[in-house]
Amino acid sequence: MLKSKTILIFLLPLFIFSQNEKWPSEKLKQDLNIFKEIREKANSGLYKYRTKQQIDSIYSWAFSQLDEPKELIEFYKILLQITDFEGSLHNDTTLPDDFEKKRSSGNVFFPYPVKLISKQLIINFENSEIPLGSQIHNINGIETQKLLSSLYKYYTTDGYNITGKSIGIGGSFAKYFEMEYGPQKSFLVEYSLPNQTQKLTKMIASVSNEIRKENFKKRFSLPMDSLQYARAKDKYSFKLISPNAALLSVHTFVIGRNAKDKIHIAYKKYLDSCFKYLSEHSEIQNLIVDIRNNGGGTDPNDILTFSYLTQKPYRENASAYVNFQKIPFANYLVYEETDAKKQQEERKDFEDELLEEFPKLINKKYPQDKKFNPVLQPDKNTFKGQIYLLISPRIASAGSLFAALVAGNTNAIVIGEETMGGYFGHNGHTPIEYELPNTKIKTQFSIVNLEQDVPQKANQVFGRGIIPDHEISQTFEDFMQNKDTQFEHTLKLIKNN
């Protein structure tokens, strides 16, 4: 999901601890205080969606939970609540690697993949115990809506977005359940059969992490999940779908690391050929741009793609800033190199780049120098017909920046579901990672607070993702037939127009 220009990742020595050890209250409070101070100094997005009073309030709650010793996993969940509350999909707080490995052993996981359809939790796996398409009402006595809400903190999204959390829950439901409620020997599931209301119960056995992963690979919706989960072999494609319509699919913006990368150059040549063809065939008046699997990537793939769709000059963003030039709390950075000299060199390179791009302190912020955000021009073969943009909750980071530019600055008709990435802006570009000294829990966030170059729109609300003009979700009936509801709706729009 990262839209990264510079990645600073370091490693500290591993800390050995007991799986069920209860940590002294003072040690946990020390780590929580450092966690708080790091974010206040380094995280420019801390108050993007929350007031200082709200942030102070959640920390007051967190400290109040630490008056007694706690297991590491319980402390971790408190940090997750804060990480998610801030409202940035680039936020990530993780347990130590050794701790994660130990938790994955044994038959402790819910066995079957699930999918959220119309806010209902549906069995997404053909099996002999609970039929495919059955709706789950509760598991081990936990009602579904309460269960889902408890899992939201494990998958961060921008602002106040909720739809994006369906991606995390659909992909990692069993893992999140085990994390939240502990290892389970079995699951008592209350469910109803497809299109029925009578509630049934079934006790099913837990499975290992290996079987959980294998079942997910064999989930029923796999043919359709290429739109949201797949790491497509073909990162992009173009084809004619009718005499007057074409389809451009861009599944990721991880297409080379920068403008000089040969992979990016090949992508640019590909786009050139596609849009030259469209400009030479004026009968093709409709272009579907499908980015439903696009979780982001690197510059300048997103803004390059936009240059073929816009009719007017544009910028990547309206403004951007960071909180610092010298890395605060550098003694807690996670180092990639073990050699002290190499660590120092890498840190200096990182700070030199910040100094160049964000050179002056203005009103307690370091704004981006204008040369890093120039006015850009449409491509000479920019498409002049009707654009149809297909979006989903999977869209994040550079994917959502691109979607926002298209939705806000072209004639595009936007179809699908709200993106997890924000319409008006996000924190991105440059991730940084720290490790807490006692528990060795790691926390990562992106330091560039940027406002996207988009206009106000009646259907766009601050703190939300890109809102579609036509809100179209896969229906249960289409799920059972693995139909692409959104694409078929788009074809009907083209036919009627």
Over the stretch 169-206, which tens digit does the pLDDT of each residue have? 999 999 999 999 999 999 999 999 999 999 999 999 99
Amino acid at 272: D
Going by pLDDT thresholds of 50, 70 and 90, the confidence category of residue 227 is: low
Distance, in Å, from the CA atom of 112 to the CA atom of 121, rounded to the nearest integer, reads 12
CB 306 within 8 A of CB 433: no
CATH for 236-496 is 3.90.226.10
User: According to the model, what pLDDT value does residue 19 have?
Assistant: 57
3-class DSSP assignment, residue 242: strand
Average pLDDT (243-248) is 98
CATH for 114-224 is 2.30.42.10
The CA–CA distances, whole Å, from 264 to 250, 255, 357, 378 equal 13, 5, 22, 18
Reported as a single tens digit per residue, the pLDDT across 87-121 is: 999 999 999 988 877 776 789 999 999 999 999 99
What residues does each domain of the chain span? 22-99, 114-224, 236-496
Helix (H) or strand (E) segment spanning residue 425: strand 425-435
DSSP 112-159: S-EEEETTEEEE-S--SSS-TTPEEEEETTEEHHHHHHHHGGGS--ST
CB 356 within 8 A of CB 348: no
Average pLDDT (338-361) is 92
Reported as a single tens digit per residue, the pLDDT across 373-399 is: 999 999 999 999 999 999 999 999 999
Average pLDDT (41-62) is 98
User: According to the model, what pLDDT value does residue 14 have?
Assistant: 38
Distance, in Å, from the CA atom of 454 to the CA atom of 419, rounded to the nearest integer, reads 16
DSSP 343-375: HHHHHHHHHHHHHHHS---BTTBEEPPGGGS--
Has residue 13 got a pLDDT over 60?
A: no
3-class DSSP assignment, residue 241: strand
